[in-house]
Amino acid sequence: MVKNVQRMKDICDYIESYQFDYRRTPSMNEIADAVGTVKSNVFKYLSEMEQRGMITRYGREITVNSSVPSTPEMNRVPILGKIACGTPEYAEENFEEYIPLPVALFGKGDFFILRTKGLSMIEAGIEPGDMVVVRKQNSADEGDIVVALVNNETTLKRYYIDKKKRCVRLHPENKDMDDILTKECYIQGVAQHVIKAL
């Protein structure tokens, strides 16, 4: 006879909560009172739950086997080489490897990763050797940090539109460096995250 699965879950939740509060396993009567049944039913439920692997019993002690292994959803993201955080340079689009990025942390999308070099973005917390997770897209909002293709060279800068000069202004996050002004700028992606070693 299949027992009530929801009641089994309620029993597991109660046992875990009780053990957290009192550092011991509740009695059969306490479990019965908590889930609205009788002691004889609790015994039957616990036997079924043990057969299903939901709990493990050692005498009167009960361990809830709640740590069910799960497979998180992943994005498979390529590392494509280095990008200049300084003077624009030719992109080294040599493929290095794919790495999995969990969707729970990085979100869904089409991403690539670039290793950084240069000092132009240090005031945005992007330092040489960091890995920047970039969402592939060909448009950006003002203020986004973008991977921009300028005269067939790539760079990582903050993106603005200079309406007076009618051009794109690529702003380095380093007070010692000048903006790059360009009439032609192709957005390859928008930086979303920085992965760095401590």
For the annotated catalytic residues, the residue numbers are: 120, 157
**What span, in angstroms and rounded, lies between the C-alpha atoms of 176 and 153?**
22
* 74, 40 Cβ separation under 8 angstroms: no
* 140, 146 Cβ separation under 8 angstroms: yes
**What span, in angstroms and rounded, lies between the C-alpha atoms of 175 and 177?**
6
Helix H segments across 5-69?
Answer: 5-22, 28-35, 39-51
| CB contact set of 15 (below 8 Å; sequence gap of 6+) | 25, 26, 31, 55, 62, 64
Nearest residue to 109 (alpha-carbon basis) of 152, 154, 74, 138: 74
SS3 content of the chain, % helix, strand, coil (to 5): 25, 35, 40
